[in-house]
Amino acid sequence: MPMTDMNNEVFFKHLDKLALFMKEQGFPEASQSITELLHDTAWTTSSELLGELRLLLVRLLQDYREKFPRFVDADIKNCIREIDKAFNA
């Protein structure tokens, strides 16, 4: 999915789809960690949520190194870049 000029709502929907795909592909723990962060935690600001998402996505790349399909790995890296762009805007 192209990730240019994405607003938070679209970005969070993208992460929901990524989490669902991870679950379907046999990565339920990774999926659940994204879903819990997005939907089961109260956040004071979107910046706080984005920061926590970035930490989680980096950890998922480390924990699932070479287990995720390449395009999932690339998608996660794109999500991290989008978060970095939001903080540098």
Q: What is the pLDDT of residues 4-29, one digit of tens each?
A: 566 889 999 999 999 999 999 999 99
The domain tally of the chain equals 1
Written as one letter, the residue type at 69 is P
Evaluate whether residue 35 is within a structural domain: yes
Query: The dihedral of CA 5, 11, 13, 19: what is its sign?
Result: positive
- Domain range enclosing 61: 8-88
Evaluate whether residue 44 is within a structural domain: yes
Tokens of 78: 């794109």
Residue 48 in this model has a pLDDT that exceeds 50: yes
Place of tokens 């930490």: 55
Evaluate whether residue 3 is within a structural domain: no
**E strands in 1-89:** none
pTM to 2 decimals? Answer: 0.90
Neighbours of 1 (CB within 10 A): 11
Q: Which of 68, 66, 3 is nearest to 30 (CA)?
A: 68
